[in-house]
Amino acid sequence: MISIRRSTARSVRAVARACVAGRPRGPAPDVVVRRSGGEVTLFAVVDGVAVAFAAGPQPGPDEAHAVPMAVLAAAEGGGADPVELSLVAAGRGEARWADRGVPRSLAFDAPDDDAAPPAVPDVWSQPQPALLAALHECGRAAGREPARFALHRVQLRGAAGQVVGTDGKAALTAAVFAFPFADDALVPAVPAFGTKDLAGRADARVGRTGDHVALTAGPWTVWLPVDAAGRYPDVAGVTPRGPATVVGLDDIDALALLDALPGLPGGTEDGRPVTLDLDGTAAVRAGGPGERAAEVRLSRSPVAGPAVRVALDRGYLARAVRLGCRTARVHGPLKPVVFEGGGYAFVAMTLDATSVVGPAADAAVVRTDPVPAAPTPAKSSPPFTPRSDPMKPTETNGHSADPPPPAGGTFDPLAEAEALRAVLAEGAARAARLVAALRHRKREQKALTQAWSSLKSLNLGTE
């Protein structure tokens, strides 16, 4: 008999399911539960990806059971309660556990299975704290189906120490890592590294064998098969370089932009376009057929370079901001936009020039800077009392004295105009809400009037 925890059953099943890129195909694989030399491990191969979990020491003789994944699903739980796995007859096994104090059992077919994990690399890297997050994010950037290039793969660039993922329209590169191999390897793009059991582990190490790239973190080891026949695009070669208009995205601006992007107009159009407008200041603008244009003014984000205006998918813009990319480089309307920061470089293709939305006088504006406060009124002065002696003239050394500032402080026309515009925008928003409320109330009154007329037509009288 071999005993594992219910939480172990849950974790192994969750990670194994996430070793599939896309939807699972065919029946779930068996999990080999093995005790060897007093150590218990669980091992499974899912869609070519092998995963092993070291469950820890457990006394007893060496033995192994092939357990269907459905048994782990039935027995899994969140605690340390044990699940006992044993053979009851030739080719037949039984799982026993307690669920809230109630004994449970499940019989299952247990064929002989001598499956063992692939070879362990001879050389491992030092711990790479950001490696699992990079594999997860670059896997999300990869394509979903095979194509002429292996876009459904993630590229590990050994000599450059980079992880790359692309779907042909956008590409994500994470750097810099220290890989113990110099060649490049194409491996499956799987979401396993984003599961709660693996995400955030800072002790991840990587190694390479002839057929696999292996990663280990804590009790987990994952072997990714290497696609030796696949071809991959040269992402570094298509990344634009040279002079560009650069915007440094402020953190407050970034949060405001992420909050506003889902509600901007044009979200149902092809490409979900938004316009990145850099003209001394930064703004993100969107519009749609029959919709009033709206823009987010990134007032805290500095811009350097010539004026440029490009359209791109709002999903790509949001992705770059969430990754921590705070610098955007725009090399022209026909070249990809490069976002950098947070250890990532995200390159996104621009959309057709017809998707660009220019400034509009009636656009709804979301500002990220505080509305300037109204000038503080001047304090009232005490009553004027004539001096009994004449005031001595101010010495000017031959120059005329500066005129006194106007009462109440210096008047800033631009600040006053901005404040007035903010007030008018708020008034327009309140008027729109009031109109909507009045229309709703009118519809309710109309419905009540129709209902009352219908009741009256029934001529229901009292007995």
Tokens of 233: 């695009």
- Tell me which of 436 and 143 has the higher pLDDT: 143
Mean pLDDT of 29-57: 95
Burial (CB < 10 A; 0-12, 13-18, 19+), residue 159, is exposed
Tokens 């419905």, located at residue: 447
At 459, is the pLDDT very low, low, confident or very high (cuts 50, 70, 90)?
A: low
Classify burial at 267, counting beta carbons within 10 Å of its beta carbon; exposed 0-12, middle 13-18, buried 19 or more: middle
Whether pLDDT at 453 is above 60: yes
The length of the chain in residues reads 463
Is beta strand 30-36 parallel, antiparallel or unpaired with respect to 39-46?
A: antiparallel
Does the structure show a pLDDT above 80 at 375?
A: no
Whether 142 has a pLDDT exceeding 70, the answer reads yes
Mean pLDDT of 160-176: 94
Q: Is the pLDDT of residue 140 over 50?
A: yes
pLDDT for the residue 218 = 96
The CA-atom distances, in angstroms, between 64 and each of 37, 41, 87, 117, 412 are 12, 10, 10, 13, 81
Per-residue pLDDT tens digits for 201-245: 999 999 999 899 999 999 999 999 999 999 999 999 989 999 999
Q: Which amino acid is at 360?
A: A
* pLDDT at residue 445, rounded to an integer: 72
pLDDT class for 253, splitting at 50, 70, 90? Answer: very high
- pLDDT at 457 > cutoff 80: no
Write the pLDDT tens digit of every residue in 425-440.
566 656 666 666 677 6
Task: Compute CA distances 135 → 25, 78, 145, 187, whole Å.
Answer: 23, 27, 18, 10
Domain 131-236, classified CATH 3.10.150.10, yes or no:
yes
**Rg (the chain; Cα; Å):** 33
Cα separations in angstroms, 458 against 42, 78, 286, 446, 455: 74, 62, 54, 19, 5
E strands along 262-389, which residues?
Answer: 273-278, 282-288, 291-298, 303-304, 308-313, 327-330, 337-341, 344-348, 364-367
Q: Which CATH class is domain 2-109?
A: alpha beta
Residue 112 has pLDDT above 80, yes or no: no
pLDDT of 429 reads: 59
pTM of the model: 0.76
pLDDT in tens, 50-107: 999 999 999 999 999 899 999 999 999 988 899 999 988 888 999 999 998 899 999 9
Residue 28: predicted pLDDT: 86
What are 253's two structure tokens?
A: 């601006």
Q: Which two tokens stand for residue 127?
A: 């711990």
Which one is predicted more confidently, 444 or 372? Answer: 444
Asked if 408 and 377 count as a contact pair (C-beta separation under 8 A), the reply is yes
421 φ/ψ angles, rounded to the nearest 5 degrees? -60, -40
Tell me the pLDDT band of 383, cut-offs 50, 70 and 90. Answer: very low
Closest-CA residue to 58 (of 84, 35, 33) = 35
pLDDT in the model for residue 415: 56
406/410 Cα distance (integer angstroms): 6
- E strands along 349-457, which residues? 364-367
Q: Give me the pLDDT at residue 137, please.
A: 97
pLDDT recorded at residue 409 = 42
The predicted structure's pLDDT at residue 100: 87
Judge contact between 408 and 379, C-beta under 8 A: no
Q: What is the mean pLDDT of residues 434-457?
A: 66
CA end-to-end span of the chain: 81
Average pLDDT score over the chain: 85
The whole-number average pLDDT for the span 328-343 is: 95
Task: Report the CATH architecture of 239-367.
Answer: Roll (3.10)
Domains 2-109 and 131-236 share a fold: yes
DSSP secondary structure code for residue 124 in this structure: B
**Tokens encoding 313:** 């998918």
Lowest mean pLDDT among 1-15, 87-101, 364-378: 364-378
Q: Percentage of residues in the chain with pLDDT exceeding 70?
A: 79
So where are the chain's domains? 2-109, 131-236, 239-367
Range scoring the smallest mean pLDDT among 11-25, 209-223, 268-282, 435-449 = 435-449
Predicted confidence at residue 435, as pLDDT, reads 65
Helix/strand/coil (H, E, C) string of 159-180?
CCCEEEEECCCEEEEEECCCCC
Say whether pLDDT at 391 is over 90: no
